Amino acid sequence: MLEFDYVIVGGGTAGCILANRLTESGRFRVLMLEAGGEPKSLWIPIPAGFSKLLVDTRYNWRFKTQAEANTRGREISVPRGKGLGGSTLINGMIYVRGQPGDYDAWAATGAKGWDFNTLKPYFRAFENYAQGDASRGHMGPMHIHQVSERYPVADAFLKAASEDGHAWNRDYNGDDQTGFGYYQVAQHKGRRWSVVDGYLKPARNRANLHIETDAHVLRLDLQGTRCTGITYRKDGREVSVSASRDVILCAGAIQSPQILELSGIGRVEVLSQFGIAVKHPLSGVGENYIDHFATRVNWRLKNTLTLNELARGWRLGLAVAEYFSRRTGILTLGTGLVHGFIKTRDDMATPDVQYFVVHASYANAAERILDRHPGFTIGVSQLRPKSKGSIHIQSSDPDTMPAIRPNFLTEEEDCTSLIEGMKIARRIMQQPAMQAYVEEEKSPGLQTATDEQWLEFAKDNGQTIYHPIGTCRMGEDEGAVVDSSLRVHGLQGLRVIDASVIPSMVSGNIQGAVMAVAERGAAIILAEVDS
């Protein structure tokens, strides 16, 4: 049996960061296992390629939620990246740190040492944001750049937001998130910049890093209360490897709890239901699932061209030529052009709603099929949802996807914030600056006027925006799965370092938070070795 110092399960955001940091000194032999393959698609480096990758089973696990009454019995897509680079291969590239209070809340609820002041140096360590001030990082491995494309209708929207009383914000990742402006994205010279680019490529030639792709983890190997290694499937055969120091789960908020449960670690009633021997009862595994839920309010425009027209026919041909000759144009765009972070009530200390604004509209949002008429969309998401669900196995077969039960919109605060966010979005679009462009509100339409009607629209049409967290929550209470050093409670040699350990939602897209967790997790491991 091969032995390594560390075995990393998952080659996504956290896995690539850990693979780099744990091999830098040359002291440790590290194995990284990834169930997907190499990121070879021609669409990956093209930012607009996300729309193709989101429906490609080679790079997206294509999970779906269980049908729930509160979202009208719909199965809602929950994309997760598959392959080296994980979700940084297929996401919309939007970069958000969140609010300092998000991380202070982690520390206050038991994740000691995870407050914002402690984490801020880790954000700065990975950021390479040339347009920021001293509060931002400028030398890190992850290139961050403000969206460079400008369109008259987007500028008009920003003017309309100002007319509605909202501020311009030059850097929402700076001291104050509040306001409107252009998004920051993980790109470099017009190309997607993934964790493969920032972390894995610089480390791949190190003799002490071994990477296995197409390696599907079946179970953790336990001896008593110690995790000694892992068994995975490769080319149809089972392979076992040992870890002298730690096995580190980096499989994400959906698959890390799945692997724990398949290994006999989790809630007794879940494991017993599927005939899995209980090796270590841990009630929090798979619980505390949280995700951002969003609606898309859209308009039919006039007097302008939008992505709906620019991304088809001869105009698309021109856009392709522009991109490959200059790395500019519509193919550099991801899921958001203009941002907005707003307070839906004046008595709030910080924003509670995020806007994703783009001059496009979807005939089918789940499949990324654009309308054929000029369109404009404002995605509306509550920043810190209180509704919580679960992710649990529904079979002892590792190839069976787990059951995702999000319980969206079960908390009144979530509903209220979302309703007010949609109403404010409509109000902005009714300001004078937008009147030269707006032909009509298409969805939900002006017939939707009462709070009850807005909520019905959300339940009928809302989607996750792919930010699952929390299912191996960090903390010290009985429901926590890992401690503040990211060790699984009650076991030795096993850690979880990925989005699943995040105790409560951050205010915005989660990639930045996951990267900070991985950077600090690596630092904790290395500090323990040297202590």
Render pLDDT for 322-353 as a digit per residue (tens, 0 to 9): 999 999 999 999 999 999 999 999 999 999 99
Judge contact between 488 and 475, C-beta under 8 A.
no
CATH code assigned at 366: 3.50.50.60
Length in residues, the chain: 531
The Cα 261–Cα 269 span in angstroms is: 11
The amino acid at 133: D
Contacts of 415 (CB under 8 A, 6+ apart): 409, 455, 458
- The answer for residues whose C-beta is within 8 angstroms of residue 36's C-beta and 6 or more apart is 11, 58, 59, 81, 82, 83, 84, 213, 214
Q: What is d(CA 343, CA 345) in angstroms, rounded to the nearest whole number?
A: 5
Asked if 391 contacts 258 with a C-beta cutoff of 8 angstroms, the reply is yes
Cβ count within 10 A of residue 94: 21
What's the pLDDT score for residue 1?
Answer: 78
281 vs 269: CA distance, rounded Å: 10
Q: Say whether 467 is catalytic.
A: yes
Domain interval for residue 170: 2-530
CA-CA distances (angstroms) from residue 138 to 124, 127, 187, 214? Answer: 7, 6, 14, 35
**Tokens at 22, concatenated:** 């744990």
Please, what's the b/e burial string for 215-229 (b: 16 or more CB within 10 A of its CB; e: otherwise)?
Answer: bebbbbbbeeeebbb
For residues 48-60, give the mean pLDDT.
93
Predicted pLDDT at 183 = 98
pTM: 0.97
Mean pLDDT within 513-528: 98
- Residues of the chain with pLDDT > 90, as a percent, come to 95
Catalytic residue among 166, 359, 392, 467: 467
Phi and psi at 21, nearest 5°, equal -65, -35
Residue 18 neighbours by CB under 8 Å, 6+ apart: 6, 8, 30, 32, 248, 250, 497, 518, 521, 522
* Euclidean distance between CA atoms 333 and 374, whole angstroms: 17
As a whole number, mean pLDDT of residues 508-531 equals 96
Task: Assess whether pLDDT exceeds 70 at residue 366.
Answer: no
- Give which of 307, 333, 71 is closest to 182, Cα–Cα: 333
* Helix 511-530 vs helix 116-126: crossing angle, to nearest 10: 100
User: For 207-222, what is each residue's pLDDT tens digit?
Assistant: 999 999 999 999 999 9
Is residue 150 helix, strand or coil? coil
Number of separate domains in the chain: 1
Tokens of 429: 């679009």
Closest alpha carbon to 407 in 418, 423, 391: 391
Asked whether residue 185 carries a pLDDT value surpassing 80, the answer given is: yes
What is the pLDDT, as a whole number, of residue 531?
Answer: 75
144: Cα separation from own chain's centroid: 16
Worst-scoring range by mean pLDDT, 56-65, 80-89, 131-140, 365-374?
Answer: 365-374
- Per-residue model confidence (pLDDT) at position 367: 67
What is the CB-side half-sphere exposure of residue 248 using CA atoms within 13 A? 30
For strands 265-266 and 280-281, give the pairing. parallel
What mean pLDDT comes out for the span 454-478?
A: 96
Q: Residue 353 in contact with residue 342, Cβ under 8 Å?
A: yes
Type and span of the H or E element at 123 = helix 116-126
HEC readout, 247-292:
EEECCHHHHHHHHHHHCCEECHHHHHHCCCCCCEECCCCCCCEECC
| Res. 363: pLDDT tops 80 | no
Mean pLDDT of the chain: 96
